[in-house]
Chains A and B, each alone.
Chain A
Amino acid sequence: MTHRANRTLQVAGLARVEGEGALHVRTVDGEVDRVELNIYEPPRFFEAFLRGRDFREPPDITARICGICPVAYQMSACLAIEDACGVRVDGQLRALRRLLYCGEWISSHTLHIHLLHAPDFLGFPDGIAMAGAHRAIVERGLALKKAGNQIMDLVGGRAIHPVNVRVGGFYRVPTPEELRPLAKTLHQALYDALGTLEWVAGFDFPDLEVPHDLLALRDVEGYPLDRGEPCVSNGLAFPTAEFGRHVVEHQVAHSTALHARLDDRMFLVGPLARYSLNSDRLSPVAREAADAAGLGPVCRNPFRSIVVRAVEVVYAVEEALRIIESYERPDSPAVEVNPRAGVGHGITEAPRGLLYHRYELDQAGRILSADIVPPTSQNQSAIEADVTQVVHSHQHLDDHALQSLCEQTIRNYDPCISCSAHFLDFTRERT
C-alpha cells in the first residue's frame, strides 16, 4: 500500500485544535500536488460590528474572538486604542498586564503541551487516554494549567474573558497581600514547569528544518509578551504602525481564512520565531533549562515547538514571580484615556504568535474601522508548506501513519481556527 504514486488523504474534522478545520492532501505521480488546510469555522464578523462601537469596548468584545487567548486580544486592543488616544501605560500597571499575560501563556501552552500535542508524540488519541499510562504527568500538567488560571482569576477577575481589563489599565488593582498566595503556587509551578520541559525534551522529533522567515516582537528588555517591535529573522525591523504594509493577507478559494505573506515571502509567527529572535532574553533559569533540553539559540524544527513552549512556560512562571515580588500597588487602577480622532495600532505576542489590532476613531471615540490579524491566519501558509514537505519526505508511510504525521505537523502550530476565521485583507486596494 505504500509508495503509491497517486494518493489522497482527507481528514474531515481535525481534532485537538481550537476551532474547526479539515486537511486535504493529494499526491500525483509521487509528487505532492495539493495541500489544503481548510477552515470551515463560520465567520463571526467582528470587524464589521465593531464599527460604531465605543472606544472602551474592544477589550471586552474582541476577547470573545477566542476563548483560549482572550488576554492577548484584550492586550492588543488596549495598546491600539491607547495608541490612538496618545496614552502609554507603564510602571506597575504595565507589570500587572504582563503578569496577567504570563497567566495566559502558562495556561494556554500547558493545555497544548499536555492535552493536544504530547499525545501525538506518544501515540495516544488524547490526553485523557494518555493519563491512563502517565497519570502523574498529566496531573502535573493540569496543576500547571491551574496555576496559570489562578493568575488570571486573581488579576483578571476571571480566567476566560477576564472582566477586570480596561483601556488604560484595570478596574481594580490587587493589593500586594492579595498577590502573595500566588507566589507559593508559582514556586511549585516552576518546579512542575522544569519537569514538563525535561519530559518533552525526551520525545522523538521528526526531522524538519523550515526556511521560512521568522517574525516576532523584540523589546528593549525581557522576553516579548505585552510589547515590542516587530522583527524578522532576516534583520528587518519595522514599527507596529507599518505592520499592514509588510504583512498582507489574501483570500484563497479553499478556505474562509486569509493567507498572509511577509514582504511577499513565506513566514511564521509563534514560539519558534519568538525564541529564535529572543533566546538571549530568557531568564537565567529558563536559558539554562533550554540548553539542557538541547535547544540552541535558534530553533527551526516546528516539531520542537513543544520544547520551546515548555521553555516559555518556565520563563512565564519565573517572570510572574519576579513581578509579584517587586509589586507595589499603583495609586490609580487605570490611566485616564480621552478619545480623539485618529488611528492606533497595537501588537502583542499571543501564545500562538503576533496579534495585531488597528482602530480608527472619531472625535467622540466611536470606532470608524477595525482590523485584526491573528497569528493562525499568518501561519496558515507555513503550515501548508510544512505538511507538503512532510508528505514529500515520508511517502513510505502507510496512509494511517502519514495522516497522523500530517495532523501532528499542523498541531506544531497550535492552530487556533476560531481566531483565524475572519479578518480583513490589506490587499483590497492593491488587487
Chain B
Amino acid sequence: MPSIAVWKFTSCDGCQLTLLDCKDELLPLTERVHIAHFLEATSVSEPGPYDISIVEGSVTTPEEAERIRWIREQSGVLVVVGACATSGGIQALRNFADVDEFRSIVYARPEHIATLGTSTPVSAHVAVDHELRGCPIDKGQLLEVLTALLAGRKPDLPDTSVCTECKRRGLTCVMVAHGTPCLGPVTHAGCGALCPAVDRGCYGCFGPMNQPNVPALVPLLRRSGMGDDELHLVFRTFNANAEWT
C-alpha cells in the first residue's frame, strides 16, 4: 500500500480537517493507503520515505524552512494544500509590514518568539508536484487528487475562474444583477462558486487564476461602489502574497 504523510506548517488546521470531513470516503480511503504520519489524527508516526506527502501551511520560521526541505527529500509526490501553502496565507500580511512591531503588539515579551519576517509558500522553498488552492481547499478536489495519484493518472484540476463555475451552475451574476462587487472573474476556480450562491461577491479565497486580468476588473469594482481603500483591502486577504497582477 502506498504511504501517506500529512504535515502541518503555519496554518489554521482547516485544510487538513477537510480530510477528516470526508465522511463517506475516509474509512474506505484508509483501506487503500497507509497513513504514516498525521499528527492531528494519530499517535503513530513512522520514519520516511513516504510515497505521498500532503502539506498544509506556510513557512514562517527557520525550523519550518529546514523541515520542508527534509519532507521534500523523503517524499515521492508532494501535494501542497490551501492558500497558506500555495501563497503564504493570511499570515503573509506581515510581508507588507514590520514584523518586529507586529511581535510587540501581540506579545508582552517579543524576544521569545522565533519567527521569520515573511510568510512564504512551499514552492518558494522546494519543488512542488500538485497544488490545491483555497482557504480552505475543496473536499472534492482533495479526493480527486488522491484518487488520481492512487490510480496513477493526472488529477483534473481546472485552472479557469470562479466566474466559469458560477455560469456553469446557472447562478445569476451578482455583479450584473445586484451591483455587488465580485472577484469571480479573476479568482482561481475550485470552490464551485460558493459565494455567488449565497448572493455574495467572491472575495478571492482561492487566489488569482492564471493570468488574471485585474486591470479590466477594477473599473467594474469601482462602478459597484468600491473606493480606493476597499480596493486595496480586497486583494490583501488570504492570498495577499500571490501574483494578482
B198's partner among A157, A159, A258 (CB-CB below 8 A) is A157
Q: What residue in chain A is nearest B9 (Cβ atoms)?
A: A42
**9-residue interface stretch from B88-96, B150-158, B210-218:** B88-96
B220 at the interface (CB under 8 A from A): no
Q: Is A164 an interface residue (CB 8 A)?
A: yes
User: Which of B60, B195, B229 contacts A157 (CB under 8 A)?
Assistant: B195
Indicate if the CB atoms of A423 and B44 lie closer than 8 Å. no
Whether A142 and B23, one on each chain, are in contact in the complex, defined by CB atoms closer than 8 angstroms, is yes
B13 in complex: contacting residue of A45, A51, A57, A67, CB < 8 Å: A67
Chain B, residue nearest A53 (CB): B233
Of B69-77, B105-113, B122-130, which binds chain A?
Answer: B105-113
State in angstroms the CA–CA spacing of A135 and B135 once bound together.
32
Q: Which of A58-66, A87-95, A297-305 faces chain B?
A: A58-66
Q: For chain A, residues 113 to 128, give those with C-beta under 8 angstroms from any C-beta of chain B.
A: 115-116, 119, 125-128
- The answer for the CA separation of A258 and B89 in the assembled complex, in Å, is 24
- B90 to A256, Cβ gap below 8 A? no
Instruction: Give CA–CA (A163, B113) in the complex, Å.
Output: 33
Question: Is B14's CB under 8 angstroms from A128's CB?
Answer: no
| Interface check A143, CB cutoff 8 A | yes
Q: What residues of A have a CB within 8 angstroms of the CB of B26 in the complex?
A: 128, 142
Which residues from B are CB-within-8-Å of A158?
191, 194
Within 8 Å CB of A253, what residues of B? 112
Q: Within B145-191, which residues are at the interface with A (CB < 8 Å)? A: 191
CA of A139 to CA of B13, assembled, Å = 23
Contact of A251 among B35, B64, B97, B107 (CB under 8 A): B107
Contact residues in B for A13 (Cβ distance below 8 Å) = 39, 45
Residues from chain A with Cβ under 8 Å of B107 in the complex: 43, 251, 256, 258, 425
B245 on interface, CB distance cutoff 8 Å = no
Cβ-closest chain B residue relative to A254:
B112
Are B17 and A67 closer than 8 Å at their CB atoms? yes
A35 to B94, CA, bound (A): 33
Cβ–Cβ contact A16 & B112, under 8 A: no
How far does the Cβ of A182 sit from chain B's closest Cβ, in whole Å?
Answer: 16
The 0/1 profile, CB within 8 Å of B marked 1, for residues 142-186 of chain A is 110110010000000111110110000011100000000000000
Report the stretch among A17-25, A261-269, A309-317, A336-344 that lies at the interface: A17-25
Is B224 close to A, CB under 8 A?
no
Given the interface pairs A44-B10, A145-B21, A164-B200, the reply to whether A49 lies near B136 with Cβ below 8 Å is: no
In contact, B14 and A67 (Cβ under 8 angstroms): yes
Number of interface residues of B (CB under 8 A): 62
Residues of B within 8 A of A425 (CB): 107-108
Is the pair A172, B200 in contact by a Cβ cutoff of 8 Å? Answer: yes
Evaluate contact between A142 and B17: CB separation under 8 angstroms.
Answer: no
B64 touching A42, Cβ below 8 Å: yes
Whether A161 lies near B135 (C-beta < 8 A) is yes
Residues of B within 8 A of A119 (CB): 43
Q: Which residues of B contact A128 (CB under 8 A)?
A: 26-27, 30, 35, 41-42
Is the CB of B18 closer than 8 A to any CB of chain A? yes
What are the residues of chain B within 8 A of A68 when measuring CB–CB? 13-14, 17
- How far is B233's CA from A119's CA once the two chains are assembled, in angstroms? 45
Structural contact, B23 and A45, CB atoms closer than 8 A: no
> Once the chains bind, are A48 and B23 in contact (CB under 8 Å)?
no
A128-B27, A128-B30 as given contacts; A258 in contact with B42, CB under 8 Å:
no
Most chain B Cβ neighbours within 10 Å, of A41, A51, A64, A119: A64
User: Does the CB pair A171–B198 fall under 8 Å?
Assistant: yes
B12, B21, B41, B106: the one contacting A43 at CB < 8 Å is B106
Say yes or no: A57 contacts B233, CB within 8 Å.
yes
- For window 129-145 of chain A, which residues contact chain B by CB distance below 8 Å? 129, 131, 135, 138-139, 142-143, 145
Complexed CA–CA distance, A54 and B112 (Å): 31
Q: Is the CB of B200 within 8 A of A171?
A: yes
Asked, given contacts A13-B45, A16-B41, A251-B112, whether A143 binds B23 with beta carbons under 8 Å apart, the answer is yes
Which residues of chain B are near A164, meaning CB under 8 Å?
198, 200
In the assembled complex, the CB of B189 is this many whole angstroms from the nearest CB of chain A, namely 16
| A residues near B60, Cβ cutoff 8 Å | 42, 44
Query: For chain A residues 34-50, which have a beta carbon within 8 Å of chain B?
Result: 41-49
**Complex Cα distance A129/B43, Å?**
11
Q: How far is the CA of A142 from the CA of B109 in the complex (A)?
A: 42
How many angstroms from the CA of A125 to the CA of B35 in the assembled complex? 12
CA distance A292 to B132 in the complex (A): 47
A sample of 26 cross-chain residue pairs with beta-carbon separation below 8 angstroms, ordered by A number, consists of: A14-B39, A43-B106, A48-B97, A48-B106, A49-B97, A54-B230, A65-B12, A67-B17, A111-B17, A111-B20, A125-B42, A126-B44, A145-B23, A149-B23, A157-B198, A164-B200, A171-B198, A171-B200, A172-B199, A250-B108, A251-B109, A333-B199, A407-B43, A423-B106, A424-B106, A425-B108
**Which 9 residue pairs of A and B lie closest in terms of their CB atoms, listed nearest first?**
A67-B14, A126-B42, A48-B102, A171-B200, A15-B43, A44-B91, A49-B93, A146-B23, A172-B198
Interface residues of B (CB under 8 A from A): 8, 10-18, 20-21, 23-24, 26-27, 30, 35, 39-45, 60-61, 64, 89-91, 93-94, 97, 99, 101-103, 105-109, 112-113, 115, 135-136, 191, 194-195, 197-200, 203, 205, 229-230, 233, 237-238
**20 extra interchain contacts, Cβ-Cβ under 8 A, other than A18-B13, A163-B200?**
A13-B45, A15-B39, A15-B43, A16-B43, A19-B8, A43-B103, A43-B106, A45-B94, A46-B106, A48-B94, A57-B233, A57-B237, A64-B238, A111-B17, A125-B42, A131-B27, A157-B194, A164-B200, A256-B113, A418-B12
